[in-house]
Structure 1
Amino acid sequence: MQLAKQTLSVTSPFALDNEDLYQRWRDKKSFAYPNRISELFIEVKNPKQLSKGEHAAILALTQKTNMAIYIGNTGNNPSVEIPIAIANQFGLKQINKNWLADDTGLTSLKVANDDIRKKYIPYTNKLIHWHTDGYYNTPDQQIHALNLHVVQQAASGGENQLMDHEIAYLLLREKNPDYIRALMANDVMTIPAGTNADGSARPDRSGPVFSISSRGNLHMRYTARTKNIRWSSTPLVKEALEFLQQILNRQHSSYVFKGLLEPGMGLISNNVLHDRAAFTEDAQHQRHYYRARYFDRLANTDFKG
């Protein structure tokens, strides 16, 4: 197993050799941390033009938890301008345009029955396990921000669970710092070679679970999928992954936020851990979410020592 070598231009609490800085960050992070999903909600009058107070409230939450959920008044309005405007107000410009995305770069997540999309789980009504977005991307195209906007719910199901990846790091490090060291290895998690959705060949994609950006921020690359993935076989990696699964699947965890987003609501995040429950549709309730992935991070949420 090869450890990732990173030369940081700034100090970071996520580097294992910065124990004092880590402890200060840990104590600040843990203090008054939300323990209910309702504490992530911010009501907004016009999501396309937030007031100063609304913007400040959302920013404060993202600085604390790497995520916030806005409650807008747009209901079933399918305008792509809503999620694009929200992203712009938080400095997100570098959208990851995939070949199944709309012209804007947004991905319109609906159940697909008659085109290439039906081969991919996000376009079905099936369960999606815990993950961060873009874990199969190249190292230079990692996803640092993920936003969702709800146009329509399903008839039943489709709830999301959310967890701040920095909290996952904290719990792992508190249990055993060597878990972090193992998950920072640059070959710990590999998506085997295959074919991209556009038909082009894709080589093996290896990389760490946890990495540290040049600004000292933590990035997480993870999926709980059990097929088409190859993990390092070292015992410590196995232990770390088992403990991470315990963290994510723990019953009644105050760090896991579970809820069903309603039309007009949306998630703003620094690509936090999330999943999706299976769902059922009917003629009046056909689930429609907009998803936006960005190569940049939410503005003004960088680590500050």
Structure 2
Amino acid sequence: MTLIFDPLNLSDESAYQKWRELKLRAYSCGGHESIVDIEGDKPDPAELHKIQSACSQFNYSIYRLNNAESGTKHFVHETGSLLGLQHLDGNLCSDEDNITSIQVVDKGRHAVYIPYTDRKLTWHTDGYYNKESKTIRAMILHCVRPAQSGGENLMLDHEMAYIQLRDENPRFIEAFLQSDALTIPPNIESGKEIRGAQSGPVFTMDSQSSSLHMRFSARTRNIEWKDNSITGEAVDCMKGLLNSNNPYVITYRMQAGEGIIANNVLHNRTAFIDSEAVDEKRLLYRARYYDRVNEVASRQS
């Protein structure tokens, strides 16, 4: 499912209603909760098609490896490449290969960032603090070892969030299209600025794929929303959508050998309890890309 209208043009109500109907029809079939089983060490053409089809309709796909031990970084690299994901995003905490090993870290740079603790992660899209030239369009999150308990991932297709916001009040979309709607202050470590402030809209049209892109974080610290009433109302509405009562939010706790491939949908992670054994502690691989997952077919009209 890809865009067949310009979501930045709120005056085209007819095109919006047609696109909305297609999105809702896809979700009514329940395919957004399906899991793609991968029998070999990498997805075969039929399995790739299922992943691409899910990402086209729902912007994410959950997969399960038949052999969990084959879920190495090589698997992540190769699967990404097969899906058209070529340009990895390096970041402060990524490994040398630009794939990040996400696990609890007690000291050093990693320890100050929530993903490397056992605490919950609030709702966000990846790279919301990046500059436009480093927009995160897709990600792979692969589970090597789950936590002893907890650590569930919740996801919401950002296109469904757009629909729910627009149906509630089109002015919420207007507010989220403003160039100064959301500002992330500079990242400063030991008195040194390592990333400048980043301002921009919440919703944009991705220039590479002509698809809707969302930039959002539900955090309450180190974030600045435009100071007017309609933006505040839009943020409150958005946060209200991010709960388990929303029928389009899914919750999934990945087991070893399972993963999520997504066009940077809204997601979070619950808190967890780790194993006491070092070789049994929670470990995930995260690859973030400047590309989107390849479409399975031409855009619908």
Partner of residue 300, structure 1: 295
Give the drift of 1:202: 2.5
In structure 2, distance between residues paired with 1:246 and 1:97: 32
5 Å matches for 1:231-242? 231-242=225-236
Cα distance in 2 for partners of 1:269, 1:34 equals 20
Per the alignment, do residues 186 and 207 of structure 1 end up closer, same or farther by CA in structure 2, a change over 3 Å counting?
same
1:89-238 mapped onto 2 (5 Å cutoff):
89-195=82-188, 200-214=193-207, 215-238=209-232
Q: Residue 289 in 1 paired to residue 284 in 2?
A: yes
Letter in 2 for 1:93: Q
Contact in 1 for aligned 2:186/2:193 (Cα 8 Å):
no
Q: Structure 1: how far apart are the matches of 2:41 and 2:299?
A: 26
For each residue in 1:170-221, what CA deviation from the matched residue of structure 2 results, as whole angstroms up to 9, or x when unmatched?
1101111111010010101001123269954432210011111234310000
Q: Deviations over 1:41-96 (max 9, x none)?
A: 11111252x22221111111111100000111232556210111111111000110
Q: Distance in 1 between matches of 2:286 and 2:28?
A: 25
Secondary structure, in 3 states, of the residue corresponding to 1:26? helix
Q: How far apart are the structure 2 equivalents of 1:18 and 1:118?
A: 47
Superposed displacement of residue 98, structure 1:
1.6
The reply on whether 1:79 has 2:72 as its aligned counterpart is yes
The whole-number CA distance in structure 1 between the counterparts of 2:27 and 2:147 is 31
Query: Greater shift after overlay, 37-46 or 219-228?
Result: 37-46
Partner of 1:5: none
Indicate if the aligned counterparts of 1:217 and 1:303 stay in contact, CA closer than 8 A. no
- For the structure 1 residues 53 and 101, does the alpha-carbon distance in structure 2 shift closer, same or farther, using more than 3 Å as the test? same
Tell me whether 98-107 or 127-136 shows the greater mean CA deviation.
Answer: 98-107
1:253 maps onto 2:262 in alignment: no
* 8 A contact 2:184–2:224 mirrored in 1: yes
Instruction: Give distance in 1, aligned partners of 2:106 and 2:52.
Output: 38
Q: How many Å separate the matches in 2 of 1:118 and 1:167?
A: 34
Secondary structure of 1:168 counterpart: helix
Summarize the Cα distance change of 1:197–1:53 in structure 2 as closer, same or farther, 3 Å threshold.
Answer: farther
TM-score (norm 2): 0.91
User: 1: CA distance between counterparts of 2:101 and 2:136?
Assistant: 18
Distance (Å, rounded) in 1 between the aligned partners of 2:29 and 2:247:
5
SS of 1:31 mapped into structure 2: helix
Aligned partners of 1:37 and 1:259 also within 8 Å: no
Structure 1 stretches of 5 or more lacking a match?
Answer: 1-9
Structure 1 stretch displaced more, 66-75 or 154-163: 66-75
For residues 276 and 41 of structure 2, what CA distance do their matches in structure 1 show? 28
The residue identity in structure 2 corresponding to 1:297 is R
TM-superposed deviation, 1:101: 1.3
For the residues of structure 1 that align with 2:41 and 2:189, how far apart are their CA atoms? 34
The answer on whether the counterparts of 1:193 and 1:203 sit within 8 Å (CA) in structure 2 is yes
Residue pair 1:13, 1:19 contacting (<8 A) in 2 also: no
SS at match of 1:95: coil
Q: CA deviation at 1:14?
A: 4.8
Separation in structure 1 between the aligned mates of residue 18 and residue 226 of structure 2, nearest angstrom: 32
Gaps of 5+ in 2: none
Flag as ranges the 4+ runs of structure 1 deviating above 3 A: 34-38, 196-201, 301-305
Shifted more, 34-43 versus 85-94: the winner is: 34-43
Q: Deviations over 1:143-183 (max 9, x none)?
A: 11011001000101100100000000011011111110100
TM-score, length-scaled by structure 1? 0.90
Q: Over aligned residue pairs, what C-alpha RMSD do you find?
A: 2.2
